[in-house]
Amino acid sequence: MPPFTEKSISGKENEAFNDQALKPKKKHPGFGQNLCDYFSEYSGASSIHGIKYLGEQKRTIIEKLWWLVVFVASLSMCIYMIIKTYDKWQTSPVIVSFARSPTSVWQIPFPAVTICSETKTRQSVYNFTDAYHKKGDNNITEAERQDLEKISLVCDSHLYHEGNNTIDYETLKFLTDVAPPFDEVFYRCSWMNKEINCGDLFTPMLSEEGLCFTFNMLDRTELYRDVVYHFENFLKHDIKATNWTLEEGYPKDLGKNTYPKRALSAGQGAGLEILLRAYEKDLDYICRGPVQGFKLLLHHPAEVPRVSQQYFRAPLNQEIVIAIKPNMMTTSEGLKSYHAHKRQCYFPSERHLRFYRVYTQQNCEVECIANFTLKACDCVSFHMPHDKETSICGANNTVCVHNAQVKLLSNELEKSLKIDSSGVFDSIDKNQECDCLPACTSLTYNAETSQADFNWPKYFQAAKIEAQNLTGAKMSGVTMFFKEMQFITSERSELYGPTDFLANCGGLLGLFMGFSFLSVIEILYFLSLRLMCNVKNYGHHFWSGSAELLENDAYEHKH
């Protein structure tokens, strides 16, 4: 073998030898150093504010610590603000605002009007005052005591609460027989400035005030479900609603003859006018107190009136003028995905009532009171919805019925306080809770009233109107109409939807961090695709010395 000499090496081989001698050795610095280098590479390309200063290798430790503190403080503030935004989204997702355009009064029904006389017994038929004093003097017969017990159901509750626990339906017949009849209460009626037979407008019904009369209310077959038992023909007029619902309103192809009736304009002459009467000989000042006349209530046509809770008076020998101002609330379809207690209302398909076909807050409350009273007293008041097998409470259960309603209100208040404190609806005993939120589409009627002395005898005399059956009568005039042609509807809509929440989060991230959707893509890219490609290109040496390998490969490529 010839000795190795420099001359024996060819020029090409000598060049390769020199490159090999100059080429840096491939070192493997380890996982930690490699990870720092990879983070430095990411920070130089990241769009997030402050990150690039943390990854710069030439920065001093003080600079990096300062930028780390700033970055953490900004991130903390951003997270805090996002949490506050999320809480607002969860607790206040709904805003109530005015509709974009006004609603005409002919698009809604004229209010149902329920009228109850303060005279519960005609003294000429049954003298309640005389029987009450006889009872106080212990000088009353058994028959008189039984009649007094029956009449006490519609008089002030403190007057008499003795006798039987339950009653039969003959008692209800007695109450209606001694009350002022329809023909005595109504003298004249006019609708849309046209005189009409009052019997064609008003229908007898039973309420907590006893015998009352209602106008423009749905027939009982459309208001109540089949399970409800009805006594005689109360609230039965057999006039069907003309494809009207509160949510959809009236069909566009209907003319002016609709039911429920609607006014075509505002102002006097475009509403309801009635003359009511009572006879001096029949007035009783013990049963219902010193105020005589009539109670009136305006309400939704598909809603049960609670005359004793919400009413205004039409005194005798007074004329009362009522200017009606509708108040309608609607709910946007975008809120259907929210829980009912977050939007604070029920859509028709969400709440089923056992006794009523139409859900309103009032109907729900009446049904709830009936259920609670039945549970507490084993009976219900005569005016509450019930099936045929349910017992009707007598005078001896008057206190029980009153206490049941007070206890129910107390339970509802405690439940409301619990919801307010926790922000979450806590379902308690279903038999003891009403959960009567408003309907998502609701309609109420506010009234502005004015009244003056009604000297009807002088008017009849001046106009030469022949007064029939008015001897000893006292009259009340009632005129009601819409105050304005249009009104502004309120609307529930989304205050914070998913899109709004995302936009707010994006704004906060951009403000504090310079963070965007592409920043997320960058992070995912560096943690997945770029990492896999580097591993594939440089094999298993990537995590043990990828920086050195990259430097060596660059040198090799250069030469």
Closest CA to 305 of 199, 191, 244, 218: 218
Residue spans of alpha helices (H) in 2-47? 11-22, 31-45
- The chain-wide mean pLDDT, for the chain, equals 84
Q: Does residue 270 sit in the same domain as residue 158?
A: yes
Q: Does residue 444 sit in the same domain as residue 375?
A: yes
Q: At what angle do helices 517-527 and 31-45 cross, to 10 degrees?
A: 150
Q: Is 247 among the domain residues?
A: yes
24: pLDDT strictly greater than 80: no
Closest CA to 200 of 259, 146, 247: 259
Please identify which residue in the block is written with the tokens 């039945």: 374
Q: Does residue 109 sit in the same domain as residue 59?
A: no
Give the whole-angstrom CA distance, residue 244 versus residue 108.
10
Spatial contact of 465 and 76, defined as CB atoms under 8 Å apart = no
Q: How far is CA 485 from CA 106, 215, 265, in A?
A: 8, 22, 6
Across 81-101, b (16+ Cβ under 10 Å) vs e yields bbeebeeebeeebbeeeeeee
Q: Does residue 171 sit in the same domain as residue 309?
A: yes
Q: Is 139 among the domain residues?
A: yes
For the segment 480-527, what is each residue's pLDDT rounded down to a tens digit?
999 999 999 999 988 876 777 778 888 887 777 777 777 777 777 777
Q: Does residue 312 sit in the same domain as residue 255?
A: yes
For the segment 421-433, what is each residue's pLDDT rounded down to a tens digit?
555 544 444 444 6
Q: Does residue 205 sit in the same domain as residue 70?
A: no
Sorted by sequence, the CB contacts under 8 Å of residue 300 that are 6+ apart come out as 111, 112, 246, 360, 362, 442, 443, 444
7 pLDDT band (50/70/90 cuts)?
very low
Token pair listed for 171: 């008692």
Q: Does residue 80 sit in the same domain as residue 207?
A: no
For the segment 347-379, what is each residue's pLDDT rounded down to a tens digit?
988 999 999 999 999 999 999 999 999 999 999
Beta-carbon-side half-sphere exposure of residue 437 (alpha carbons within 13 Å)? 17
Q: Are strands 210-215 and 166-167 parallel, antiparallel or unpaired?
A: unpaired
Domains of the chain: total? 2
Lowest mean pLDDT among 6-10, 150-154, 315-319: 6-10
List 450's β-bridge partners, or say none: 321
Question: What's residue 246's pLDDT?
Answer: 86
Q: What is the mean pLDDT of residues 411-418?
A: 77
Q: Is 500 among the domain residues?
A: no
- More confident call, 322 vs 12: 322
Q: Is 162 among the domain residues?
A: yes
Q: Note down the domain range covering 490.
A: 97-494
- More confident call, 449 vs 89: 449
- More confident call, 253 vs 376: 376
Question: What's residue 8's pLDDT?
Answer: 47
Give the whole-angstrom CA distance, residue 381 versus residue 395.
10
Domain termination site, one of 464, 494, 524: 494
Q: Does residue 173 sit in the same domain as residue 113?
A: yes
Question: What's residue 490's pLDDT?
Answer: 92
The length of the chain in residues reads 559
Give the whole-angstrom CA distance, residue 307 versus residue 207.
7
For residue 366, the SS3 value is helix
334: pLDDT strictly greater than 60: yes
For the segment 181-229, what is each residue's pLDDT rounded down to a tens digit?
999 999 999 999 999 999 999 999 999 999 999 999 999 999 999 999 9
Residue 136 dihedral angles phi and psi, to the nearest 5° = -65, -30
List 297's β-bridge partners, or say none: 114
Q: Does residue 329 sit in the same domain as residue 465?
A: yes
Q: Does residue 384 sit in the same domain as residue 290?
A: yes
- Highest mean pLDDT: which of 5-14, 327-336, 472-481? 472-481
Question: What's residue 527's pLDDT?
Answer: 72
Question: What's residue 546's pLDDT?
Answer: 47
Q: Does residue 66 sit in the same domain as residue 10?
A: yes
134: pLDDT strictly greater than 60: yes
Q: Is 76 among the domain residues?
A: yes
Question: What's residue 72's pLDDT?
Answer: 87
Residue spans of alpha helices (H) in 92-236? 128-136, 142-151, 169-178, 182-185, 220-223
Q: At what angle do helices 398-422 and 361-377 cross, to 10 degrees?
A: 120
End-to-end CA distance of the chain: 33
Q: Is 361 among the domain residues?
A: yes
Give the whole-angstrom CA distance, residue 385 versus residue 158.
24
For the segment 299-323, what is each residue's pLDDT rounded down to a tens digit?
999 999 999 888 999 999 999 999 9
53: pLDDT strictly greater than 80: no
Closest CA to 180 of 213, 132, 215: 213
Q: Is 156 among the domain residues?
A: yes
44: pLDDT strictly greater than 70: no
Q: Are strands 442-453 and 490-494 parallel, antiparallel or unpaired?
A: unpaired
468: pLDDT strictly greater than 80: no
Question: What's residue 294's pLDDT?
Answer: 96
Give the whole-angstrom CA distance, residue 379 versus residue 400.
10
Q: Is 535 among the domain residues?
A: yes
Q: Does residue 31 sit in the same domain as residue 132?
A: no
Question: What's residue 547's pLDDT?
Answer: 46
Q: Where are the beta strands (DSSP E) in 431-516?
A: 442-453, 473-482, 486-487, 490-494
